[in-house]
Structure 1
Amino acid sequence: MCFSDKIIWITGASSGIGKALAIELSNQNAKLILSSRNSKDLELVKNSCKNSDNVTIITLDLEDYNHFNTKVDEAISAFGKVDILVNNAGISQRSFAKDTHITVDKRIMDINFLGTIALTKAMLPHFIEHKSGHFVTTTSIVGKIGTPLRSSYAASKHALHGFFDSLRAEIYEYNIAVTLVCPGFVNTNISKNALTGDGTPQQKMDAATNNGIQPERFSKMMIKAIQQKKEEVYISGAKEKLGVYVKRFFPKIFSVMIRKLSVT
């Protein structure tokens, strides 16, 4: 797949993976629609892109998911259509289940799961009409395995796998692809912004996140997976990737491993 003149909508584009992805895709002459809650940061990303005239900004809050039809109309009108929707926005968690207020659990599910599928459903008629399209969703290695301090985050990412695996089968006849991208530790602000048990951000960088893959390198590997229309890809260090396969083939061993593992 060549991304030149492809129209790609990226959520969570103001920082981290989304920002790196936008800049790399702009270098490949894609036309971009960038979304997040922070319009000022989006402007900075736009100005970092190769051709800012081919970049449109649409502010979007995944928690406010009852009005996404108007956002989709706005995105389509920017360049006449959308070829790829990258569902990249989300929020993480750093708290034990016993210490996490149910309102925090709900907020994580609203943002990571319901907001993402609401935007996907709003975009779906456009893809069906054109009999083409590609949903790319950033989940997590924790969408395949559950780890301590991330109970609802893991649940939200597991839910995305269930939804998009089902959707992939339903829309195959319309020539619409679904790619699930599962990052391990990536050096972004995700751990700083992660919600603690009372809903406040953690406001510190985890050691594992700090030592994670750089977003620029990650974006290149993610773009390769999009080009190949892979159904699911794990982009992570060896230990995170190993965890997925141990969980699949040796679940009891994995249970012992994960109890002893430092995941901060």
Structure 2
Amino acid sequence: MMDFKNKTVIVTGASAGVGAAVARNFAKLGANIVLVARGAEALDKITKDLASITDVYSHTLDVANSEACRELVDIVVEKFGSVDVLVNNAGYHQRGDVSSNNTRDLAAMVDVNLRAPIELSSLVLPHMLENKSGAIVNVGSLAGRTPLQGAATYSATKAGLRAFTYALADEVKECGINVGLVSPGPIDTGFIMDNMDTVEDIVFSQPLSTAEQVADAIVKVAEGKRTEIILPASSGFLTTISYLFPTLRRKIRPSLYEKGRKAKLRIAQGK
């Protein structure tokens, strides 16, 4: 297993939720933490929280900006000497049917959820290959394991990210680099909870995970214990069946929508 003490970990989308929880986990394991996010104020807060634990560097950028990502990796290598772990956690989701979405938002989902992780992985890999060690962990989604109507583009980006992860894992499996992903269902963070009304009811048909549970899974993947961890595990079976048997998926979809609608109402009422 990989030892993270004095290693350098880049976490995108690190200002809150899963990203902040991941940063805390790696900080407790003795890693140097590089926090990346768009919002400076929230990023400053988590930076101050972790500064007493380990060496922390925060960097404000949009991961969809290719040149900014290149500059980030150069800065991190100059400051810490290497990049040992990359956690591609930043995500963007503009919910709704394809026909009702702005094309700029559709493109932004592809840029943030798929292109950026691929580019960042490409940028850090030479340093990991030189050191013959490292880890890249991508944050996927149950939506990337089975098509999700009302989230077609988001689902496509996460499916693409999953395929990229498995292919890259095979490319570097003999190089001492752990590559994998965590595929969670709904997470109790602002990513979905702040805009529940816009979230498809079917999403809530699956149990909520906490940011800490997802963060723990990310560390396990980085350690090389698994290539993919699905949260909750029971949802992994359901997504596999629904992907392999699309006719069955369409038949059970109404019942999942009803289950999700009821769960969503309970959550909204604070029960």
**After TM superposition, is the score higher than 0.5?**
yes
Amino acid at match of 1:252: T
Tell me the residue number matched to 1:212: 208
Instruction: Tell me the alpha carbon deviations over residues 145-203 of structure 1, each in whole angstroms, 9 at most, x when there is no partner.
Output: 1112111000111111222222222223322221111011111111267xxxxxxxx58
Tell me the residue number matched to 2:172: 171
Give the 3-state SS of the residue equivalent to 1:225 in structure 2: helix
- TM-score w.r.t. length of structure 2: 0.84
Q: Return the alpha-carbon distance in structure 1 between the equivalents of residues 211 and 72 of structure 2.
A: 27
Tell me the residue number matched to 1:197: none
Q: Return the alpha-carbon distance in structure 1 between the equivalents of residues 116 and 191 of structure 2.
A: 18
Amino acid at match of 1:26: A
Give the 3-state SS of the residue equivalent to 1:86 in structure 2: strand
Give the 3-state SS of the residue equivalent to 1:70 in structure 2: helix
Amino acid at match of 1:242: F
TM-aligned CA distance change 1:61 to 1:155, over 3 Å: same
Q: Return the alpha-carbon distance in structure 2 between the equivalents of residues 48 and 243 of structure 1.
A: 38
Tell me the residue number matched to 2:32: 31
Q: Return the alpha-carbon distance in structure 1 between the equivalents of residues 77 and 161 of structure 2.
A: 24
Instruction: Pick one of 224, 236, 241 that aligns with 2:232.
Output: 236
Q: Return the alpha-carbon distance in structure 1 between the equivalents of residues 76 and 196 of structure 2.
A: 33
Deviates more, 1:151-160 or 1:213-222: 213-222
Deviation at 1:44, TM superposition (A): 0.8
1:188–1:209 CA contact under 8 A, matched in 2: no
TM-aligned CA distance change 1:221 to 1:128, over 3 Å: closer
Instruction: Tell me the alpha carbon deviations over residues 17-61 of structure 1, each in whole angstroms, 9 at most, x when there is no partner.
Output: 001111122222221111111122112112222735511112221
Tell me the residue number matched to 1:111: 112
Give the 3-state SS of the residue equivalent to 1:66 in structure 2: helix
More helix by share: 2
Q: Return the alpha-carbon distance in structure 2 between the equivalents of residues 22 and 109 of structure 1.
A: 25
Pairwise CA RMSD? 2.5
Q: Return the alpha-carbon distance in structure 2 between the equivalents of residues 226 and 87 of structure 1.
A: 12
Q: Superposition pairs for residues 134-149 of structure 1, below 5 Å? A: 134-149=135-150
1:120 aligns with 2:121: yes
Amino acid at match of 1:236: P
Q: Return the alpha-carbon distance in structure 2 between the equivalents of residues 233 and 134 of structure 1.
A: 15
Q: Return the alpha-carbon distance in structure 2 between the equivalents of residues 139 and 174 of structure 1.
A: 23
Q: Return the alpha-carbon distance in structure 1 between the equivalents of residues 215 and 150 of structure 2.
A: 26
Deviation at 1:86, TM superposition (A): 0.5
Amino acid at match of 1:56: Y
1:85–1:135 CA contact under 8 A, matched in 2: yes
Q: Percent identity?
A: 27
Amino acid at match of 1:226: A
Amino acid at match of 2:256: L
Tell me the residue number matched to 1:256: 251
2:136–2:222 CA contact under 8 A, matched in 1: no
Q: Return the alpha-carbon distance in structure 2 between the equivalents of residues 55 and 112 of structure 1.
A: 25
2:28–2:53 CA contact under 8 A, matched in 1: no
Tell me the residue number matched to 1:46: 47
Q: Return the alpha-carbon distance in structure 2 between the equivalents of residues 150 and 215 of structure 1.
A: 22
Tell me the residue number matched to 1:198: none
1:10–1:86 CA contact under 8 A, matched in 2: yes
TM-aligned CA distance change 1:44 to 1:254, over 3 Å: same
Number of aligned residue pairs: 255
1:65–1:114 CA contact under 8 A, matched in 2: no
Deviates more, 1:162-171 or 1:37-46: 162-171
2:181–2:218 CA contact under 8 A, matched in 1: no
